[in-house]
Structure 1
C-alpha cells in the first residue's frame, strides 16, 4: 500500500511541476537572467559594447556624479509630494464613490479610472500643451484673475516639477482608487452600523474603522506607487525632456541618456539602474516598518 501512495504523490508532483515549468523558465529567462547580466554589466565600462572589467569604479563614480545626484533629488521630490497626494486623493474619492446613495456611480468610477488606460505619450503631449505659456491652464487662471501674467510651467524649475506632479496624479489616482473601492466593498457594513449606534461620527468611523481595515491595501498601493515613481520616465521625457537644464530629470531618464543620447556607456547605465533597485528596497522597508507590518 505504501508504494502506490508514493507513486501517486510522485505523479501529482510531476503533473504540478509540469504546469509551472514553462512559466518558471520564462521568468528565469526574461527576468532573473537579465538582472544578473545587468549586475555583471555594472562592473564594466567602455563605449558601446567594447567593455572592460573595472570593479567598483562605476559605483564610486555614481556617488560623485552631480547629474545623478540631481536626478535623485528630482525623483525623491516627485516621490515625497506626489505619492502621498495621490494616495490621499484616491482614498477620499473611493470613500465618496462607495456611498450607496450616490447616483451614477458607474459613470464616475469609469471617468476617474479612464486616465490610467490612456497612452503615456498621448496624455503627456496633451499636458505639455495644456501647461504651455499660452495653454488652457494659464488662460483659465488669468480669466478668473488668479494670476496677472502666464506662469512659465515648462521653463521654470519649480513650476515644471509641479506640472509633472499634476500630470502623474491625474493619470494614476484612478488606478489606486479601484483598489480602495474594492476593499471598501468587502468591509461588513454592520461594523459601521454598530459604530453609528455607539455614537461615532462619520469622521471617527473613517479614522477608526475605514483606515485600519484598508491598511494592507494602503501599504500595497504606497509601495507600488513608490516603485512607479522611482522609475518615472515617460511624463518627464515628453513634457519637459528633463529641462529646464536638468531641473526635472529623473533617474530613468538619466539611464536613457547614458545608453542612447550620450556616448553609450551601458556599464555605468546598469550601475545607475541598480541604484533604483537599492532605493526601492530601502523605501519599501521603511514603509513596512512605518505600517508596522511584521513581515517587513
Structure 2
C-alpha cells in the first residue's frame, strides 16, 4: 500500500496543507508570499459581501439538491434493480448518461431561452399562463432554481452506480431469513436488510453527493453566466475561480477553499453519523 499512500500524500494531503498555509498570506504568484495572518478570513466575512451571497447560495443549494439527489439515486437504483439484467443495463445507461455526456447544458439553454422560441416560454404562452417571454436565466427570481433543477438532472452519476452495485452484492438468503424472522413487506426488507447491508455504498454515495452539491460551478457558469445577474447563482466555487483564476489573489482564494473544505468535512461527518444509525 506504500505507493498508494505516497501518491495520496503528494497529490491530496500535501496540496491541502499548502493551501491552508497560503491562506494566511498575500500571494499574487509574482512575488513571494507575504504573511498576513487572519486578514484573508476577516476580509471574507466582514468585507466581502459577494462571498456572503455565495455562501448563502451554496448552503441553500446543498441543503436542497444534496438530499434530493441522494434519495433519487437510491430510489432509482432500488427500482431498476428489480428488472431483468438486460433491461437493468439499459435503464442504468439511460439514467447515468447525462452525467457523462460532457457539456450538454445547451439543451437547457434552449428550454429556458428568454425569447418565444424557448420551450418553457413557448409552452407557457401556448396554454395562456404567461403572455410575454420570461428571461429565465437573467431574472434573479428564477436562475438559482433552474440551476438546481439541472444539477438534479445531472446528479445520477457515481452514487447511482455505487448503489446499483451494492444492491447486486446483497446476499439473497438474508431476505429468506428475514421472512422467517417476521419481515412481512418490502419496506421492512428495505429498512432492516437492504440499507444495513449497503452501509459502505451509502457512505460513499453520501460523500460524493455532498461534494457535488457544495462544489457546483460549471452548471451555474454555463447557464447563468459568470458572474450571474445580481450574483443570484454565485457559489463558493465560482467565487474561488474568480479570485484564483482571474484575479490571481492566491492567498485569498486559498482562504475561500479552506472555508469550503471545512464546511464539506463538517457536513460529511454529520451525515456519516446519521447513516450509522440506519437499520440499527
Q: Same fold (TM over 0.5)?
A: yes
Partner in structure 2 of residue 116 of structure 1? 99
Match in the other structure for 1:277: 261
Q: Counterpart in 2 of 1:39?
A: 20
Query: Cα 1:207–1:147, aligned 2, differ >3 Å: closer, same or farther?
Result: farther
Query: Structure 1 length normalisation: TM-score?
Result: 0.80
User: 1:124 touches 1:234 (CA, 8 Å); kept in 2?
Assistant: no
2:55 to 49, 54, 72: 72
Q: Please point out which of 161, 180, 188 is paired with 1:178.
A: 161
Per-residue deviation, residues 3-34 of structure 1 (Å, max 9, x unmatched): xxxxxxxxxxxxx85xx2xx554444433333
Instruction: Choose which of 217, 226, 235 in structure 1 pairs with 2:210.
Output: 226
Please give the secondary structure, in 2, of the residue aligned with 1:112.
Answer: helix
Return the alpha-carbon distance in structure 1 between the equivalents of residues 75 and 153 of structure 2: 14
Aligned pairs for 1:139-288 within 5 A: 139-143=122-126, 145=127, 147-149=129-131, 150-193=133-176, 195=178, 198=182, 200-241=184-225, 242-261=227-246, 263-288=247-272
> CA-atom RMSD, angstroms?
2.6
2:112 is aligned, of 114, 127, 131, to 131
Change (3 A) 1:213 1:28: closer
Partner Cα separation in structure 1 for residue 150 and residue 197 of structure 2: 30
Deviation at 1:110, TM superposition (A): 0.9
State the alpha-carbon separation in 1 of the partners of residues 272 and 128 from structure 2. Answer: 41
The 8 Å contact of residues 158 and 208 in structure 2, kept in 1 or not, is answered as no
Instruction: List structure 1 segments (4+ residues) > 6 angstroms apart after TM superposition.
Output: none
Are the counterparts in 1 of residues 159 and 208 from structure 2 also a CA contact under 8 Å? Answer: no
For structure 1, the 5+ residue unaligned runs are 1-15
Q: Which runs of 5+ in 2 are unaligned?
A: none
Please list the CA deviations of residues 119-172 of structure 1 after superposition, one character each: whole Å capped at 9, or x if unmatched.
Answer: 1xx2223322322224223334555x3843545421222421121112111112
Tell me the matched-pair count: 270
Report the Cα distance in structure 1 between the residues aligned to 2:135 and 2:85, rounded to whole angstroms. 39
Larger radius of gyration: 1
